[in-house]
Structure 1
Amino acid sequence: MRKLELENGPLALYLGLVMAVAIMAFSPGLLNADSIDMLNQSVTGRYHDWHSPLMTLAWSLLGHVKPGPAPMLVMELLLFVVGTYLILARVFRSAWIAIGAATLIILLPPIFGSLGVVNKDMLGLSLFATMIGLFGADLAHRKARLAVAWVAFGVLMCAVRTDYLPFFFWACAARIWVSLSWRLPKRSTPADALMIVGAVAVSIVAALIFALATAISIGVVNYGALGADRRYPIQATLLHDIAGVSVAHNDNLYPSWIKNRGVTLEAIRKRYATHAGDPLFWGGEPRVPFASSPAEFMELRGAWLMAVGSNPKAYLRHRLAVIACLVKSCTSAYGHFQYATDPRYGNLVDYDRMGLNEPIAGANMRAGYLKWAAGTVLARAPLYIVSLFLCMSLLLAAPWASRPRVPSPVHDHVRTVSGALGLGAASHLLVLGLLTPAANFRYLTPTIFVAAILLLYALFTVCESRWPIRIASAISRLNHRARN
């Protein structure tokens, strides 16, 4: 890998400071209902596919070092910090400026606050950051070991968060396109244009095949090697969609095995909520049950297809309302954490073995979260303000304080990474719009992360171009004319 203009001392200091601040704020790690469920699985050794079996396995292995969420918190923070630095180091001419920009992004309140939650969402984001950082290094140096590294992190990312697959797909497509574009002619004849279109098509098809193979391999590992129980997590979305269409169509469109358990149209109307399906599942009796067998799931899928096919407008209105709630959840100043307090997850009796304190587990989790919010995030609001001004000062000083590294101000690999990130973020939002069962802020964390990266890329593309010089020259000419 390219040797950056950075000695080991400054990099170690940077990583140490960021890790120390994050661990001080979040140690031993915040847990929601999903986290406790996975932690419980890691102790019992029985996995199911509602959460990532691979992350549960990793958590059980880390439990040999120290029980509880602390080792997983350290691992996800380390991956995210290093990955963010690798992403930004591709574009900045000074390693110190790259460190400042990475700190700015890490300390963005929605991202920094979310990193303290030890769950599949944040580990997926950390793996995503590392994958993109190695992807940029591979584009810059064309080393086989770098390609293997970012693909491996991409596969792990998809195993932890399946909805991150679009990011992996577009990264693969971009890498294949770069490999093909090196061999394309540089002329602009019609035949060359057809070759370019063909290369783009080949890149997309090859990446799609590889992404599908990755998804199939993850399923084989989850159900074959790890023996995870099938619980069909997609059914939460199907049940929520059918409820939305049923309310709009004024008819109970659930399959017969759900109707036979006392779920009536009146009950659906009473507990249907646009932002999430949880009130349907846990809001009271009669609950909308989950499928417990392949036959029930197949019947549920058929009912969903029939409901969507016969009422497409109602389905689209329902999904658009979910997206609107998802966007609205971003309005919180420090990020919106939706922690579950369902007593179903208060089944951890051996707290010492799991490295947990009783006040932050199960039904007492809300009290632990409120205490953390008042004592950590709000108390550290000045940290965000100070770091923002410090990092912005470094960013604005970059064109003058850093030495030129290459003659060209804009690098091809930066444009390629930007394109892959932009297409991946757009595709990820489309997947969320179609498949998310709830409007949860943490689902948008990768979008915010990508937006921050692209904004800094655009800023430095302008700063390292001739535009600052032209603007300064124009101002100088205006001043000269004013004097005369």
Structure 2
Amino acid sequence: MAPGSSENLTVGGGSPVRLAIAASLLCCVALAVWWPGVVEYDSVEQYKQVLSGIYLDWHPPAMARLWAVLHPLGPGATPMFVVQFVLYWLGLGLLAAALARSGRVRAGVAVLAIGALPLFVGWQAAVLKDTQMLGAIVAATGLVGWWRLADRRVPIIAMAVAAALLVYAMLVRANAVFAVVPLVVMLAPWSMRLWQRGLALVAGILMVLAVSPPINHGLLGADETKVTRTLPIFDLAGIAHFSGGADVLLPAERALIEQRHCYQPYFWDPLGDDDHCGSIARRLELIPPRALTTLWLGSIARHPIAYARHRLAHLNSTDRLLVPMGRPDAAPPRRSEPNGIGLGSPGPVASAIAWFGGWLVETPLGWPIAWIVVAAVGLCVALARPRSPARDLALALAVSGLMLEASFAVVSIASDLRYHLWPMMAAVMATILLAGERRPSRRALVLGGAALALIVAAGVTARISLPRSPTSYQGMLG
């Protein structure tokens, strides 16, 4: 399973071999349990593009194009399901084996145990752009970590494979740039000061954002939709809701939003739904892009307090801090979206495990805000330690997860838990790397534990005191 030699793999009494075999077995078991994979609404729409040969940019064309290439290998979602599970367990297996090779067997076991947690493995069974992204980044991390944790230079071939995986991750999820570029910059082998890495990080993000549309529309041949307008529409509705500003939306539109409760920090969807406030979205979609951007940025500049309240309300919702029990789009899906194009569902064992994953999401294990605290503590611990292979990889993972979470403060439009899978996984991998190398300082444990306890107390209080949330998408639409 690992790309190193058998001699290197067996150092440490065979523990790396055993963990590599364990990862392979876990992968096989997961494939068998969740076969032929789970599809949600987005997956169904992308598969329709595969069948029709007509690609749109509302969903990442890179994923649909790869699906079309792999489609002859198997029916429905099966090829993509296999790809993302194999990448996921390959990355975790490489990282676990690398830790065991360095004598940290328990840390390696912890990596596999977290990977098998129903919350994570249940979501990884769903064929989605988020899980494709997670599989690609985890595989790249494991590939690089195999050599870096041994304090060895990554071979050119392995580096090329890791780079291809990370490029795919950025193409398959628009906001993955905020995770991938920080990961690459922090792992860059050449010596740079912190401010230089910061400049490289910003420049890399801007460059990727600039080249992504030509790749999607030109190289991948996707027709342009109105997907880029969802964020301005969501922000304009939020600003109008919190400010009541007459210069943001038309008076009739503001009244309609309030009457039909179309503005929800949870997601933008009621604004694009014909039965709610779709007429507002249709009008704004007819505005030329430059004029819409001017209206959007101008409204932010004129109503910064209302904009901040809107973004903070959404950030609270997507990070699942002060929210009621039962918020939808958090539990791993138990069955596939109904469809007439041959996309099936896994059996009862998978459904039972997904149910347990749904129970876990109501605990702090399923709250992105809790993992943000863990990642922030890990970042502080890593910065305080001298450089080492494990410390450097942990630092890169913490920065990657936190940067992606930070991006949700300004670019997110929905509160699905699947958007946070990589930050959550990055946080736990960074913690395992740091704890496996050396026990954290008492100060870090006390301060980090206090911060986490405060977050958990606030979250539990909210879930007890707030009215229970609608448990379905239609219920959230109202």
Normalised TM-score (structure 1): 0.72
Q: Does 1:159 align with 2:159?
A: no
Aligned equivalent of 2:271 = 280
Q: Any gaps of 5 or more consecutive residues in structure 1?
A: 182-198, 361-367, 384-408, 466-484
Work out the CA distance in 2 between the residues paired with 1:334 and 1:24. Answer: 27
Work out the CA distance in 1 between the residues paired with 2:144 and 2:435. Answer: 21
Amino acid at match of 2:389: H
Amino acid at match of 1:272: Y
Work out the CA distance in 1 between the residues paired with 2:239 and 2:328. Answer: 34
Work out the CA distance in 2 between the residues paired with 1:174 and 1:285. Answer: 45
CA distance 1:86–1:333, change in 2 (3 Å): farther
Percent identical residues: 22
Aligned equivalent of 1:470 = none
Q: Is the 8 A contact 1:53 1:226 kept in 2?
A: yes
Aligned equivalent of 1:377 = 354
CA distance 1:334–1:221, change in 2 (3 Å): closer
Work out the CA distance in 1 between the residues paired with 2:81 and 2:221. Answer: 26
3-state SS of 1:180 partner: coil
Aligned equivalent of 1:171 = 183
Post-superposition offset of 1:253: 5.0
1:104 to 96, 99, 113: 113
Q: Is the 8 A contact 2:119 2:354 kept in 1?
A: no
3-state SS of 1:63 partner: helix
Q: Does 1:246 align with 2:240?
A: yes
CA distance 1:318–1:326, change in 2 (3 Å): same
Q: Any gaps of 5 or more consecutive residues in structure 2?
A: 361-384, 442-478
User: Can you list the C-alpha shifts for 1:375-434, whole angstroms capped at 9, x where unaligned?
Assistant: 443479999xxxxxxxxxxxxxxxxxxxxxxxxx99712111111111111111110121
Q: Does 1:426 align with 2:402?
A: yes
3-state SS of 1:439 partner: coil
User: Can you list the C-alpha shifts for 1:172-203, whole angstroms capped at 9, x where unaligned?
Assistant: 32233x3226xxxxxxxxxxxxxxxxx44444
CA distance 1:312–1:412, change in 2 (3 Å): same
Post-superposition offset of 1:215: 3.9
User: Can you list the C-alpha shifts for 1:300-326, whole angstroms capped at 9, x where unaligned?
Assistant: 222211211111011111111111111
User: Can you list the C-alpha shifts for 1:124-147, whole angstroms capped at 9, x where unaligned?
Assistant: 011110122223245332133333
User: Can you list the C-alpha shifts for 1:68-123, whole angstroms capped at 9, x where unaligned?
Assistant: 11111111011011112223444343586465223211122321221111110000
Quick check: 1-10 or 20-29, which moved more? 1-10
Post-superposition offset of 1:334: 11
Q: Is the 8 A contact 1:155 1:214 kept in 2?
A: no
Q: Is the 8 A contact 1:167 1:420 kept in 2?
A: no
Work out the CA distance in 1 between the residues paired with 2:99 and 2:440. Answer: 10
The equivalences for 1:249-398 within 5 A come to 249-251=243-245, 264-269=253-258, 270=260, 271-282=262-273, 284-287=275-278, 288-290=280-282, 296-328=288-320, 336-337=330-331, 349=340, 351=341, 355-357=342-344, 375-378=352-355
Q: Is the 8 A contact 1:114 1:335 kept in 2?
A: no
Amino acid at match of 1:156: Y
Q: Look at both structures and tell me which one has the larger radius of gyration over its CA atoms.
A: 1
The structure whose RCO (Cα within 8 Å, separation 6+) is larger is 1
Work out the CA distance in 1 between the residues paired with 2:426 and 2:403. Answer: 12
What value does the CA root-mean-square deviation take over the aligned residues?
Answer: 3.7
Q: Does 1:40 align with 2:40?
A: no
CA distance 1:338–1:439, change in 2 (3 Å): farther
Work out the CA distance in 1 between the residues paired with 2:392 and 2:17. Answer: 31
Work out the CA distance in 2 between the residues paired with 1:320 and 1:411. Answer: 36
Amino acid at match of 2:185: A
CA distance 1:228–1:431, change in 2 (3 Å): same
Work out the CA distance in 2 between the residues paired with 1:338 and 1:98. Answer: 26
1:123 to 123, 127, 132: 132
Normalised TM-score (structure 2): 0.73
Count of residues in correspondence between the two structures: 400
CA distance 1:232–1:141, change in 2 (3 Å): farther
3-state SS of 1:91 partner: helix
Quick check: 416-425 or 13-22, which moved more? 13-22
Aligned equivalent of 1:222 = 216
Work out the CA distance in 1 between the residues paired with 2:23 and 2:436. Answer: 23
CA distance 1:415–1:462, change in 2 (3 Å): closer
Aligned equivalent of 1:386 = none
Q: Is the 8 A contact 1:19 1:77 kept in 2?
A: yes
Aligned equivalent of 1:192 = none
Post-superposition offset of 1:150: 2.1
Amino acid at match of 2:302: S
